[in-house]
A and B are shown apart, each in its own frame.
Chain A
Amino acid sequence: MATRQVYWNIEGEHWLYLLFIFALIFFGYGVFKRVQLWKLGKPENRCENVWQGIKDIIVYGFGHKRILKDPYPGLMHFAIFWGFVFLAFATAIITLQADVGLQIFHGWLYLFIKLTANLFGLAALIGILVAAYRRYIQRPDRLDNLADDAITLILLFVILLTGFLIEGVRMAALSFTTTPDQWASWGFVGQWISIPLRSWLNEAQLLSLHRFLWWFHLVLAMFFIGYFSHSKLFHVLLGPANQFMRNRGPIGIPETIDFEDESIETFGKSQLREFSWKALFNTDACLRCGRCQDNCPAYLSGKHLSPKRIIQDMKVLMQETGAAVEAAKEMATSVHAAGHDGAESAETEEWTGRALIGEVIPEEDLWACTTCRSCEQQCPVFIEHVDKTIDMRRNLVLMETRFPSEAQLAFKNMENNGNPWGIGWSTRADFLTNLGVKTCEEDPGAEYLYWPGCSGAFDARNQKVSAALVKLLNAAGVRYAILGNEEKCCGDSARKLGNEYLFYSLASENIEVMKGHGVKKIITQCPHCYNLIKNEYPQFGGDFEVIHHTVFLLDLIKSGKLKLSHGAGKTVTYHDSCYLGRYNQIYEQPRELLKTVGLDIKEMAHTGEKSFCCGAGGGRMWLEEHEGQRINEMRTDEAIALKTDYVGTACPFCLTMIADGIGARGVGEQLKALDIAEILENAL
Chain B
Amino acid sequence: MAKGIFIIVEQRNLEIRKVSLELLGEGRKIADAAGEPLVAVILGQGIDGLAATVTAGGADKVILIDDAKLADYTTGAYTSVLNKLITKEQPQTVLMGNTAIGKDLAPRLAQRLGVGLASDCTGMEADASNFLIFKRPIYAGKAFEYVSSTVRPVMATIRPNTFKAADPNASRTAEIVKETADIDAADMRAILKEVAIAASKRPDLTEANIIVSGGRGMGGPENYVILEALADVVGAAVGASRAAVDAGWKEHKFQVGQTGKTVAPTLYIACGISGAIQHLAGMGSSKFIVAINKDPEANIFNVADYGIVGDLFEVVPVLTEEFKKLVNS
Give residues in A with beta carbon < 8 Å to B. 406, 409-410, 413, 416-417, 420-426, 455, 458-461, 622-624, 626, 630, 656, 660, 663-664
Contact = CB atoms under 8 A, between A and B. Distances in A.
A461 B139 contact: no
B258 A664 contact: no
Nearest to A410: B258
A460 B277 contact: yes
Interface string B142-154: 1000000000000
A663 B243 contact: yes
Contact of A460 (B142, B243, B259, B302): B302
Contact of B140 (A416, A459, A630, A656): A416
Interface in B280-329: 280-281, 284, 299, 302
Contacts of A416: 138-140
Contact of B275 (A460, A660, A663): A460
Contacts of B299: 460-461
Interface in B122-143: 138-140, 142
Contact of A424 (B140, B276, B277): B140
B216 interface: yes
Nearest to A412: B140
8 contacts: A409-B262, A409-B281, A424-B139, A455-B277, A460-B275, A624-B252, A656-B276, A660-B246
A35 B216 CA distance: 57
Contacts of A660: 243, 246, 276
B243 A461 contact: no
Contact of A421 (B138, B243, B247, B258): B258
A421 B259 contact: no
Q: Which 9 A-B pairs have the closest CB atoms?
A: A424-B142, A421-B281, A460-B299, A406-B259, A422-B140, A459-B277, A624-B259, A421-B277, A663-B216
Nearest to B252: A624
A417 B139 contact: yes
B276 A461 contact: yes
A420 B280 CA distance: 12
Nearest to B140: A422
Q: DSSP class of B's interface residues: helix, strand, loop or mixed?
A: loop
B280 A623 contact: no
Contacts of A422: 140, 281
A660 B277 CA distance: 12
A615 to B, nearest CB: 11
B87 interface: no
A420 B258 contact: yes
B278 interface: yes
Interface of B: 138-140, 142, 216, 243, 246-247, 252, 258-259, 262, 274-278, 280-281, 284, 299, 302
A460 B284 CA distance: 14
B259 A423 contact: no
Given A406-B259, A409-B262, A423 B140 contact: yes
B242 to A, nearest CB: 8
A155 B138 CA distance: 70
A422 to B, nearest CB: 4
Contacts of A420: 258
Contacts of A417: 139-140, 142
Given A420-B258, A623-B259, A664-B247, A458 B139 contact: no
Contact of A622 (B216, B258, B274): B258
A458 B284 CA distance: 13
A424 B142 CA distance: 6
A627 to B, nearest CB: 13
Given A422-B140, A664-B243, A458 B277 contact: yes
Contact of B246 (A424, A458, A664): A664
Contacts of A664: 216, 243, 246-247
Nearest to A666: B216
A410 B281 CA distance: 10
A427 to B, nearest CB: 8
A423 B142 CA distance: 8
B136 to A, nearest CB: 13
Contacts of B138: 416
Contacts of B277: 421, 455, 458-461
A626 B245 CA distance: 11
B281 A423 contact: yes
Given A416-B139, A460-B277, A622-B259, 16 more contacts: A421-B281, A422-B140, A423-B140, A423-B281, A423-B284, A425-B139, A426-B142, A459-B276, A459-B277, A460-B276, A624-B259, A630-B246, A656-B276, A660-B246, A663-B243, A664-B247
A418 to B, nearest CB: 10
Contacts of B262: 409
A622 B262 CA distance: 14
A413 B258 CA distance: 10
Contacts of A622: 258-259
Nearest to B217: A663
A622 B278 CA distance: 9
A421 B139 contact: no
A460 B247 CA distance: 23
B291 to A, nearest CB: 13
A460 B300 CA distance: 10
A458 B258 CA distance: 14
A416 B299 CA distance: 24
Contacts of A656: 276, 278
Most buried by A among B140, B274, B278, B280: B140
Nearest to A460: B299
A656 B259 CA distance: 15
A424 B143 CA distance: 9
B278 A421 contact: yes
A664 B284 CA distance: 23
A592 to B, nearest CB: 31
A669 to B, nearest CB: 12
A624 B299 CA distance: 22
Nearest to A459: B277
A424 B259 CA distance: 19
A412 B229 CA distance: 36
Contacts of A630: 246
A469 B45 CA distance: 65
Contacts of A410: 258
Contacts of B276: 459-461, 656, 660
A350 to B, nearest CB: 26
